[in-house]
């Protein structure tokens, strides 16, 4: 079994394996190139994004700088916005739905290292060679989600559609759809309802109108 196949099977893999290092080097270099672009270099930025990620939907914008590990393991929907310092350690699959907005410094991680220090240093592969290994769990973020500044999404987490995750939250477990959740560890505060509409905040809405 190839090293990348082990990742998707949920098995231990060697992140330093030449096959995986080549993927990461390519993506890291593309990210460096992206981070050196000017914001109005729209065509160049779009070309780089399409080369970095497995899928990126239409009308998506990443402010940059961004730090992506594999890239080819991340799928992003339409109308995605990410502010400064997006970090995705996508050893395995990361899926982000459409109409999602991320604040500054959002981090998504998928790899997990052994808890015991001696196992974290190395495990023996099938030939008996000591090798640094870890495993990974996929992350799924639904449509229409807003993640505030400095949110960390941990391995194996699913965030349902229409969620708002408060700034500074560390999401360690699944969040059901239509939830406002916050904290470390992140917990559901309450359900988001029509009572949260801006129509009930006329002093903020001003002369603007709700789209029906």
Domain assignment of residue 94, yes or no: yes
CB distance 91 to 136 below 8 Å: yes
Q: How far apart are the first and last CA of the chain?
A: 52
Q: Catalytic site residue 113?
A: yes
Return d(Cα 88, Cα 101) in angstroms, integer.
15
User: Which residue range is the domain that position 63 belongs to?
Assistant: 3-112+120-205
CATH code, 105: 2.160.10.10
Domain assignment of residue 212, yes or no: no
Q: Which of 69, 79, 113, 200 is catalytic?
A: 113
One digit per residue, pLDDT tens: the chain, 212 residues? 899 999 999 999 999 999 999 999 999 999 999 999 999 999 999 999 999 999 999 999 999 999 999 999 999 999 999 999 999 999 999 999 999 999 999 999 999 999 999 999 999 999 999 999 999 999 999 999 999 999 999 999 999 999 999 999 999 999 999 999 999 999 999 999 999 999 999 999 899 999 98
- Tally of structural domains, the chain: 1
Other C-beta atoms lying within 10 Å of the C-beta of residue 142: 21
């Amino acid at each position: 079994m190839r090293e990348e196949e082990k990742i998707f099977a949920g098995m231990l893999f060697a992140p330093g394996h030449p096959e995986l290092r080549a993927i990461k080097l390519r993506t890291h270099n593309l990210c460096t190139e992206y981070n050196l672009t000017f914001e109005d270099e729209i065509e160049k930025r779009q070309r780089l994004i399409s080369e970095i990620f497995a899928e990126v939907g239409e009308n998506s914008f990443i402010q940059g700088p961004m730090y992506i590990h594999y890239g080819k393991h991340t799928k992003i929907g339409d109308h995605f916005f990410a502010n400064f310092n997006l970090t995705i350690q996508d050893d395995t699959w990361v899926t982000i739905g459409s109409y999602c907005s991320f604040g500054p410094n959002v981090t998504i991680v998928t790899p997990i290292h052994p808890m015991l220090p001696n196992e974290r240093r190395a495990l023996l592969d099938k030939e008996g060679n000591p090798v640094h290994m870890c495993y990974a769990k996929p992350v799924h973020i639904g449509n229409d989600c807003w993640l505030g500044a400095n949110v960390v999404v941990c391995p194996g987490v699913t965030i349902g559609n229409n969620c708002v995750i408060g700034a500074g939250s560390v999401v360690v477990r699944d969040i059901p759809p239509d939830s406002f959740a916050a904290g470390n560890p992140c917990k559901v505060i309450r359900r988001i309802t029509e009572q949260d509409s801006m129509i009930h905040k006329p002093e903020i809405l001003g002369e603007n109108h709700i789209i029906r």
